Amino acid sequence: MPEGIFCNKKPIETQEELTALLGDTSGTQYYKEMKELDIDTKLLWTTIQNTCKSRIRTWLEICAHCGMCADSCFLYLVNDRDPKQVPAYKIQSTLGEIVKRKGNVDNEFMRMAMETAWAKCTCCNRCGIYCPHGIDVGIMFGYLRGLLYQQGFVPWELKIGAGMHRVYRAQMDVSEEEFVETFQWMVEENEEEYPGLTVPVDVENADIMYTVNAREVKHYPEDLAEAAILFHAAGENWTITSKGWEQTSLAMFAGDWAACKMQVENVYAAMERLKPKRMVGTECGHAHRATVVEGPYWAGRQDGRPPVECIHYIEWLAEALREGKLKIDPERRIKVPVTLQDSCNYVRNHGLREVAREILSYIVEPGYYREMSPNREHNFCCGGGGGFNGIGLFRPQRNKGLITKRDQILATGAELVIAPCHNCWDAIRDLEEEFEIGIKWSFLKPLVVSMLELPDHMKPEE
Amino acid sequence: MYEFITGFMFWLALGVCLIGMAVRTILYFKGLRWNLDRVAYRAYPARGFKGAIRSIYKWILPFGTHGWRKQPFMAVLFFSFHIGAVFVPLFLLAHNLFLKEKLGFSLITINGGVADFLSWLVIITLILIILRRLALPEVRILTNWYDYLIILISAAPFITGLLARYEVGNYSFWLLAHIISGEILLFAIPFTKLSHIFLFFASRAQLGMDYGIKRGGLRGTVMDW
C-alpha cells in the first residue's frame, strides 16, 4: 500500500482532514499504515541535491569519529551511555546513510530514522558546542526531520500539529474569535481586582504587540490575564492582534517548512498591519525560536530579522523591573530555594543567558537562588524539547529523558523551579509527576503578579 | 627513481594538495546559503567575521573551551598529535633544505632534538588514539576501516621518517618510502577526511558566524565556547 488514508505524504490542509486524523486515537491506524508507506526515493534524492549544501555535507564528511559529542548529549547519558545514543552515530546512521545511498532507503530504515530524529534528539544543539569541528548534529536532525516529513514519516501528533498551523495558523484549533474572546473574558474576570484592566485589540502604532502560545488560550487562560495585569501595571501602551497572534510553530518540530513559512508570515503580516514599535512574545522557548530566530529566514528576509524588533517576555519583564515600571514588594519576594531552567531555544540559540537572572535578582530574596549545573548556554535540554513532550509513541523514551533534569534540579536543592518556557515547564511538571521529587514549578508571570506593588491607579477601590 | 619521486611526483602531489584544497575551501564558502543554513552571512559581515575568528581561536587554544576542559585526556592527545603533525613537516631542517632547493625559499626551522621529540610524540599519541578508539564504546561504534586508513596515511611519513633518521637498515630505502608516503598524504588531503586540515577552519568559521550573527551575536552575546 503506497499511501495510507492517514499516513501519507500529503500535509493536512483542511479542517475535515484534521478531524479525521484526530479521530484515529493515538494514531493506531496511522502507525499501522506507516509500515506500508512507500518511499519516493527520487524525490528524496532530488530534495537532498537541492537543499543539502556544503555546510551539512562537510559536517557529514569531516566528522572525525572522535566521540567527543557523546558526553554532551543528555539522551546518551541517561540511556546508560548506550553507544547508539552518541550524536555522531545517530546522525551518521540516519542522514549520513541516506546521503551515502543517494536516497535509496526502505520503509524500515525510514521508521528507524523517524525514531532517531524524534526520540533520540530534541534538537537542543548542545552537541554542536562540544564538537571540535563545530558540527551541530541538532541542526542536521532538524534538516532530517524535513526530509522525513516530506516522505510521510512523522509522528502522528506532529502531523496534526503542522496541520493545525496550516488550517488555523495556530498549534491548536483556536480561531481568531476564540482568541480575542478568551483574552477579553479573562480580563473581565480580573477587572474587579485590577481596576481599569483592559485588553486593547488591533490598536495601531502601539508600543507593544503581544503574541502568545495557543495553549494559553485553550488550557491556561490565566496566563493571558497575568500578561494583561503586568502590561497594565507597567503602564504600557500595548495591544493584541486578532490575526497573527500565535507565536509558536509545531510545524518547526515536524519539519514542515512550508507550514513554518505560512505560520510566521501570518505573524509578520500582523506586525506590518499594526506597526507596533516592538513585539513581545510570551514565556515560550520554541515560539521565540520560530518567530524571532528562524522565522525571518523562512519568510525570506535576508537580514535575518523580523519586520519589527521582537523580544522575549523575559526581556520585557527585566526591562520593566529595571526601569521601575513594575515594582516588587520586597516582603513578598521568593524565600524558598529556587533555581532557573535555561531554555535551549532562546538561551543557547539566541544568547538570552543573563536576562532571566536579572529578573531573579529582583524577585528572589538574596541567598535563595541556586544555579543549576551546567547552566546558561551549556544547560541541558529539559528532556522534552523539540516536540518530544507531545509524542505519545515515544513517551517511555521521553520519561527516561527527564532524568537528567531531575538530577540537575535535585543537586541544586531547590524547591521551586522557574521555567520561562512552555516546553520546559511541561517537562518539569511531568518529571515531578513521574519521579515525585517534591518540587514546584512556575512561569515568571504568576510569581511577579503575586509580589507586585500595585500602582495607585490599579488599587481596588475601598 | 629518486629523481622522479622528488621531482615530478613532488610537484604533482604538492599541486594537487594545494589546488585541491583551495578549490574545496572556495566551494565550501560558495556553498553556504543564507536561506538554507538560516544564517544572514552577508547582512552582517563584520559580526560574522568576529564570530568566525573567535570560534576558531578558542578551539585551537589548548583547554580553551568547555569541550577541551571536559575531556582533558583527549585534549592532551589532540594537541600533542597536531602540534607534531604540523610542526615537523613544516619546520624540519631537512624539509626546508629540500624546499629551498625546490622552491628557492624556506621556512623557519626547529632543531633536531625538538623534531625527534615531536615525531615520537606523533607516533605515541597516534597509538593512544588507536587504543582510545578500541577501548571506548562511544568511539568504537563510530570507528570503521576508513578511520584506520586515515591514521595509517598520517602515520606513515612519521614512521618512515624516523626509520630513515635512525638509519635502521637501509637509509635510502626508508628515505624513498618516507618521500612516497609524504606524497600519498599530500594527494589524500583534498579527497579524504584529511581535508579537515583546511575544512576544520571553514566549518568552525561557519558555526562561529552562526553564533556571531544569529544565535545571540546580534544581541551582543559573546558565545562561551
Which chain B residue is nearest to residue A130, measuring alpha carbons? Answer: B67
Q: Which residues of A touch B28 (CB under 8 A)?
A: 54, 58
Q: Cα-atom radius of gyration of chain A, to the nearest Å?
A: 22
Using 70 as the pLDDT threshold, list the residues of chain B that sit under it: none
Residue spans per domain, chain A: 39-154, 171-324, 330-450
Give the number of other Cβ atoms within 10 Å of residue A397's Cβ.
Answer: 17
Nearest-CA residue of chain A relative to B33?
A: A53
Question: Tell me, what's the pLDDT at B1?
Answer: 80
**A50 at the B interface (CB within 8 A)?**
no
CB contacts of B221 in chain A (<8 Å) are 351-353
Q: What pTM was estimated for this model as a whole?
A: 0.96
CA dist A317 and A444 (Å) reads 9
Q: Mean pLDDT, to the nearest integer, of A28-45? A: 97
**Which one of B35, B136, B207 has the shortest CB-CB distance to A134?**
B207
Give residue A461's pLDDT band: very low, low, confident or very high (50, 70, 90).
Answer: low
If you count residue pairs, one on A and one on B, with CB atoms under 8 Å apart, how many are there? 150
**pLDDT above 70 covers what percent of chain A?**
99
Distance from CA of A23 to the nearest CA of B (A): 36
Residue A2 confidence (pLDDT) = 82
Per-residue pLDDT reduced to its tens digit, A184-232: 999 999 999 999 999 999 999 999 999 999 999 999 999 999 999 999 9
B7-13 contacts at long range (C-beta below 8 A, 24 or more positions apart) = B9/B180, B9/B183, B10/B102, B10/B179, B10/B183, B12/B183, B13/B182, B13/B183, B13/B184, B13/B186, B13/B187
pLDDT at A462: 59
Q: Is the pLDDT of residue A441 over 90?
A: yes
Asked if the Cβ–Cβ distance from A294 to B38 is below 8 Å, we say yes
Residue A369 has pLDDT above 90, yes or no: yes
Q: pLDDT (tens digit, 9 = 90+) per residue, A122-139?
A: 999 999 999 999 999 999
Q: Please give the pLDDT value at position A456.
A: 81
User: Mutate which of A58, A84, A90, A352 to disrupt the B interface (most B C-beta within 10 Å)?
Assistant: A58
Q: What pLDDT is stored for residue B2 in this prediction?
A: 84
A132 chain-B contacts, CB cut-off 8 A? 59, 67, 78, 200
Distance from A161 to chain B by nearest Cα, in Å? 23
- DSSP-based three-state secondary structure for B44: coil
Are B32 and A57 inside 8 Å of each other by CB? no
A161: pLDDT confidence band, cut at 50, 70 and 90?
very high
Q: Summarize pLDDT for A315-367 with one digit per residue, the tens.
A: 999 999 999 999 999 999 999 999 999 999 999 999 999 999 999 999 999 99
What CATH number belongs to A330-450? 3.40.50
Residue A72 near chain B (CB below 8 Å): yes
As a CATH number, domain B2-219 is 1.20.950
CA atoms within 13 A on the CB side of A461: 4
Work out the end-to-end distance of chain A between its first and last CA atoms, rounded to an integer number of angstroms.
72
Mutate which: B57, B215, B225, vs A, most A CBs within 10 A: B215
Rounded Cα–Cα distance for residues B171 and B177 (Å): 10
Q: How far is B202 from chain A (nearest CA, A)?
A: 9
Would strands A338-340 and A369-370 be described as parallel, antiparallel, or unpaired?
parallel
Mean residue pLDDT across chain A: 97
Residue-range domain boundaries for chain B = 2-219
The complex's ipTM? 0.95
- Set of chain A residues whose Cβ sits within 8 Å of the Cβ of B55: 134
Q: Is the pLDDT of residue A1 over 80?
A: no
Residue in A closest to B61 by C-alpha: A132
Among B29, B42, B55, B142, the residue to mutate for chain A (most A Cβ within 10 A): B142
CB contact under 8 A, B147 and A51: no
